[in-house]
Amino acid sequence: MTTDGVGGGGAGMEWAEAGKGEGAGMDERTEADERAAVGEGEGAGERVGRHVRKAGWRRARRIGLLALLVLLLPVLAAETALRVNYFGDPEPGTYTRQKDAIWLGHAWVDGRKTDADVTALTARLKTTGIRDLYVHAGPLEHNGTLPESAYPKAGWLIKAVHRAAPGIRVQAWLGDVLATETPTGMHLDRPATRAAVVTSTRRILAAGFDGAHFDLEPLHSGDRDYLTLLDSLHSVTRAHDAQLSVAAHQIDPLPGFHSFWGTVAGHPKWWSQKFFGQVARRVDQIAVMSYDTMQPLQSLYGGYVAQQTSLALEVTPPSTDLLMGLPFYHENRFGHWNHAETVPAAVRGVRLGLSRTDADRANFGVALYVDFAAEEKDWTAYREDWVR
Residue 252 · residue 258 · CB < 8 Å: yes
Helix, coil or strand: residue 233: helix
Is pLDDT of 21 > 60?
A: no
Is pLDDT of 360 > 60?
A: yes
Helix, coil or strand: residue 32: helix
- Residue 131 phi, psi dihedral angles, 5° rounding: -115, -25
pLDDT number for residue 11? 34
Lowest mean pLDDT among 7-16, 187-196, 343-352: 7-16
- Name the nearest CA neighbour of 148 among 135, 136, 138: 138
The Cα 223–Cα 225 span in angstroms is 6
Is pLDDT of 375 > 50?
A: yes
Is pLDDT of 56 > 90?
A: no
Residue 97 · residue 363 · CB < 8 Å: yes
Is pLDDT of 72 > 70?
A: no
In order of 50, 200, 230, 377, the CA distances from 368 in angstroms are 63, 26, 23, 13
Mean pLDDT (the chain) is 88
User: Count of residues for the chain?
Assistant: 388
pLDDT number for residue 59? 79
Is pLDDT of 167 > 80?
A: yes
Please compute the mean of the pLDDT values over residues 199-225 and round it to a whole number. Answer: 98
The Cα 37–Cα 319 span in angstroms is 91
Residue 354 · residue 364 · CB < 8 Å: yes
Residue 344 · residue 381 · CB < 8 Å: yes
pLDDT number for residue 308? 98
Is pLDDT of 151 > 80?
A: yes
Largest Cα–Cα distance in the chain?
Answer: 145
The Cα 194–Cα 144 span in angstroms is 7
DSSP structure class, residue 186: B
73/176: higher pLDDT: 176
Query: Which residues touch 334 (CB under 8 Å, ≥6 apart)?
Result: 294
Given pLDDT bands bounded at 50, 70 and 90, which one contains residue 92?
very high
Is pLDDT of 16 > 50?
A: no
The four Cα atoms 293, 298, 303, 304 give a dihedral, to 10 degrees, of 0
Task: Compute how many other C-beta atoms are within 10 angstroms of the C-beta atom of residue 273.
Answer: 16
pLDDT number for residue 286? 99
Angle between helices 298-315 and 343-357 (to 10 degrees): 40
The amino acid present at 210, given as its one-letter code, is: D
Is pLDDT of 262 > 70?
A: no
Given pLDDT bands bounded at 50, 70 and 90, which one contains residue 67?
low
The Cα 340–Cα 186 span in angstroms is 33
Is pLDDT of 249 > 70?
A: yes
Please compute the mean of the pLDDT values over residues 219-245 and round it to a whole number. Answer: 98
pLDDT number for residue 17? 38
Q: Is the bond preceding residue 92 a cis peptide, omega within 30 degrees?
A: no
Residue 205 · residue 236 · CB < 8 Å: yes
- Write the pLDDT tens digit of every residue in 310-359: 999 999 999 999 999 999 999 999 899 999 999 999 999 999 999 999 99
The amino acid present at 131, given as its one-letter code, is: R
Given pLDDT bands bounded at 50, 70 and 90, which one contains residue 80?
confident
Is pLDDT of 13 > 50?
A: no
**pLDDT above 90 coverage of the chain, percent:** 74
Is pLDDT of 280 > 70?
A: yes
Lowest mean pLDDT among 58-62, 199-203, 206-210, 343-347: 58-62
Given pLDDT bands bounded at 50, 70 and 90, which one contains residue 52?
low
The Cα 126–Cα 130 span in angstroms is 8
pLDDT number for residue 23? 41
- Name the nearest CA neighbour of 237 among 197, 276, 264: 197
